[in-house]
């Protein structure tokens, strides 16, 4: 279950576990598994020795569009944005994408989302405090959400060394990352020398609104008509 955590005025990149059917693919672990099938005692795996790994992320695509929350009443309302990745990717190389969101229903704001190893990203531009967000007596919210995908391509080689080889495999070798393709890891071969992975997730735009102020109640009085303002409050 995902817990909402409000962070003040910054993009927050979380690496908490998100429930889902995909999970996270660790490219280094995939390379270690590859080397282990060709020898025992893996001494090292490197993605930077020859033709360093290059990771490129495509545009964030939304399934069936992505509607905006209805009936926001600015400036009484504030925006919150969430991206949850239930199919995520960890590589030795950082990668990011640019996304554009609608802010206060008037302007477009472009953000850079760093997706490497991220399972959740949040943007809280209006500094909504956690105690305000979670207090249903003070706020009400409207939200819309949709699923998204980001296509990631990987090009380059990786090197490995094992202590003892199996069969005719060498102790040391440099091979293309395309060799890491696997249905289990959802790493698909792209041409002769590349890989492709699809990050899948859920986007949510929430508009949090302060409730209308209620009229102040009249001050209570004692039986003789005097104000009870100075009356001591008992614990």
Extents of the domains making up the chain: 11-210
Tens of pLDDT, residue by residue over 171-229, are: 999 999 999 999 999 999 999 999 999 999 999 998 888 776 633 444 544 444 444 44
- pLDDT at residue 28 greater than cutoff 70: yes
**What gap in Å lies between CA 94 and CA 89, rounded to an integer?**
10
Quickly list H helices, the chain. 27-36, 130-134
Tell me the two tokens of residue 52: 């360093």
Report pLDDT digits (tens) over 107-142: 899 999 999 999 999 999 988 887 777 666 667 778
* CB neighbour list of residue 187: distance below 8 Å, 6 or more residues apart: 25, 30, 180, 181, 195, 196, 197
Check residues 79 and 2 and name the one with the higher pLDDT: 79
Q: What local confidence, expressed as pLDDT, does residue 144 receive?
A: 87
* CA separation for the pair 45, 174 (Å, rounded): 10
| Joined tokens for residue 210 | 């302060």
Of residues 235 and 138, more confidently modeled: 138
pLDDT in tens, 36-89: 999 999 999 999 888 899 999 999 999 877 877 766 677 788 889 999 999 999
Buried b or exposed e, range 142-159, using 16+ CB within 10 angstroms: beeeeebbbebbbbbbbb
Q: What's the pTM? A: 0.78
- Cβ atoms within 10 A of the Cβ of 178, count? 20
Confidence of residue 9 (pLDDT cuts 50, 70, 90): very low
Instruction: Tell me what pLDDT residue 131 has.
Output: 74
């Amino acid at each position: 279950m995902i817990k909402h955590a409000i962070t003040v005025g910054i993009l927050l990149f979380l690496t908490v576990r998100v429930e889902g059917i995909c999970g996270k693919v660790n490219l280094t672990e995939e390379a270690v598994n590859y080397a282990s099938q060709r020898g025992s005692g893996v001494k090292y795996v490197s993605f930077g020795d020859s033709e360093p790994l290059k990771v490129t992320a495509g545009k964030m695509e939304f399934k069936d569009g992505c509607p905006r929350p209805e009936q926001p009443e600015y400036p009484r309302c504030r925006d919150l944005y969430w991206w949850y990745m239930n199919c995520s990717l960890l590589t030795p190389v950082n990668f990011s994408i640019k996304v554009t969101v609608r802010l206060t229903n008037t302007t477009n704001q472009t953000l850079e989302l760093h997706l490497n190893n991220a399972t959740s990203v949040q943007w809280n531009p209006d500094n909504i405090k956690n105690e305000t967000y979670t207090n249903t007596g003070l706020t009400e919210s409207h939200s819309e959400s949709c699923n998204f995908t980001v296509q990631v391509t990987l090009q380059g080689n990786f090197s490995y060394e094992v202590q003892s080889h199996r069969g005719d495999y060498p102790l040391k070798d440099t091979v293309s990352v395309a060799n890491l393709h696997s249905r289990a890891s959802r790493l698909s071969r792209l041409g002769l020398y590349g890989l492709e992975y699809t990050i899948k997730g859920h986007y949510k735009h929430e508009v949090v609104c302060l409730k209308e102020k209620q009229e102040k109640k009249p001050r209570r009085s004692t039986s003789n008509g005097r104000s009870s303002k100075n009356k001591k409050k008992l614990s």
